[in-house]
Amino acid sequence: MNDRKFLLAASVNIIIAVLGIIGDVMEIAHHGIGMLAYYTVDSNILSQIACIVCAVYYLRKKELSNNAGMLKYMSVCMLFITFVVVVTMLAPMKNSGGLSHLLLDDALLYHHLLCPILAFVSYIVFDKRPEFKHNVLIATIPTVIYAFITTLLNIAKIMHGPYPFLYVYEQPFYASILWAVAIFAVAFILAFITDKIKNRKK
């Protein structure tokens, strides 16, 4: 990349991080430390870290290292999952107006809409595609970790939800299994799609 593109890439990553932090502040006001129970918040925090790391590289006029590229790719995949789950699963579970609420109200505007879209575009346009043997599988690891921990906490009755598909005591066992399979499948498919788009752009 030339100097102008390095500066633009750094600026976009900084903007994403700042927007995410604005959303974090709003979430803290509503949920306190309990906000960390939400996949949406966790994915945005990882995105903020990844974007700051990327911005540092670009401000120094350097291409991303393989590890930095993977960090950004993982965070983008998590935000992609957040957006798709909100639009296709969570919004339909709510009454009329659920989609506009989940995409436009308060912190959700930043965490569910602006950050996912900007992060995806910035990754495709500017960032280096990581060159690991199993890119797609690696990108799903944070989602698997989140699902494993929150499921255990729900089973132990330390946490309730926060998403309907984690209500292990309010649905049949097979429903929890089907939800887990569906979420993991979505995570893999979206990571695969993101990688293919990036590879084609490259």
Q: Does residue 184 register a pLDDT over 70?
A: yes
pLDDT number for residue 92 = 83
Per-domain residue ranges of the chain = 3-201
Reported as a single tens digit per residue, the pLDDT across 89-101 is 888 877 777 888 8
Reported as a single tens digit per residue, the pLDDT across 59-74 is 999 999 999 999 999 9
Reported as a single tens digit per residue, the pLDDT across 2-20 is 899 999 999 999 999 999 9
How large is the average pLDDT for residues 112-131?
96
How large is the average pLDDT for residues 11-35?
96
CA 112 to chain centre: 9
Q: Does residue 148 register a pLDDT over 80?
A: yes
pLDDT number for residue 202 = 60
Annotate the chain with three-state secondary structure. Answer: CCHHHHHHHHHHHHHHHHHHHHHHHHHHHHHHHHHHHCHHHHHHHHHHHHHHHHHHHHHCCCCCCHHHHHHHHHHHHHHHHHHHHHHHHHHHHCCCCHHHHHHHCCHHHHHHHHHHHHHHHHHHHCCCCCCCCCHHHHHCHHHHHHHHHHHHHHHCCCCCCCCHHHCCCCCCHHHHHHHHHHHHHHHHHHHHHHHHHHHHHC
Q: Does residue 131 register a pLDDT over 70?
A: yes
pLDDT number for residue 144 = 93
Percentage of the residues of the chain whose pLDDT score is greater than 90: 83
